[in-house]
Amino acid sequence: MYPWSHFLFGLLIGEILVKAGLFGQIAAFTLAILAVLVDLDHYLYYGIKHKNWSLANAWNAGSIKHEKGERTFIHHWKGFIVMTAVSAIIYLFSKVAGIIIASAYYSHLALDFCSWNFVGIKGKEKIKGSKFLLDIPKYEIFWDVVFVAGILLLLVL
């Protein structure tokens, strides 16, 4: 999924945890930012493999070409175990920090690996016009709207 979807879903999870009384708005925002940063591995992989640190090239390789191997260990079982252990250790020192890191990471994986197209929306929205090519599944746009609605609902309740 695209970075803004990770941000919105992370923020939605953060707002739910704010409502649960676990932490405040800054923590919810931090969770959303960290949920986006999990995908830094795509950029690092691209930069190291191609010896090219162009953000646009890395973006297009991930967004359009879906290069094999761009998802590093952090997106797989080893990363899951490492991040769970890291979150647990951090939790021992700061419950809020541990919850933020775990929630950011798990929300990211939930978007990447769960089949969100059970809503059955077909097609993609191709957007060109900048160096950053977009090929957004329409079901992802649907979920972005749902996430925004959920965030707004939680903010006004």
| Site of interaction with Zn ion (CB under 5 A) | 39, 112
How far from chain centre, in Å, is Cα 99?
16
In the complex, the smallest distance separating the C-beta of residue 143 from Zn ion, rounded to whole angstroms, is 15
HSE-CB of 71 using CA atoms within 13 angstroms = 15
In the complex, the smallest distance separating the C-beta of residue 67 from Zn ion, rounded to whole angstroms, is 13
DSSP string, 107-126: HHHHHHHS-GGGG----EEE
Q: What is the DSSP letter of 102?
A: H
In the complex, the smallest distance separating the C-beta of residue 38 from Zn ion, rounded to whole angstroms, is 6
C-beta closer to Zn ion: residue 39 or 140: 39
C-beta closer to Zn ion: residue 15 or 39: 39
Nearest residue to Zn ion on Cβ basis: 112
Alpha helices in 20-117 (DSSP H): 25-37, 40-50, 55-60, 77-93, 95-113
C-beta closer to Zn ion: residue 39 or 144: 39
Amino acid making up residue 13? I
In angstroms, the CA 67 to CA 61 distance is 6
In the complex, the smallest distance separating the C-beta of residue 56 from Zn ion, rounded to whole angstroms, is 19
In the complex, the smallest distance separating the C-beta of residue 39 from Zn ion, rounded to whole angstroms, is 4
In angstroms, the CA 152 to CA 157 distance is 9
CB 140 within 8 A of CB 127: no
C-beta closer to Zn ion: residue 18 or 60: 60
C-beta closer to Zn ion: residue 4 or 96: 4
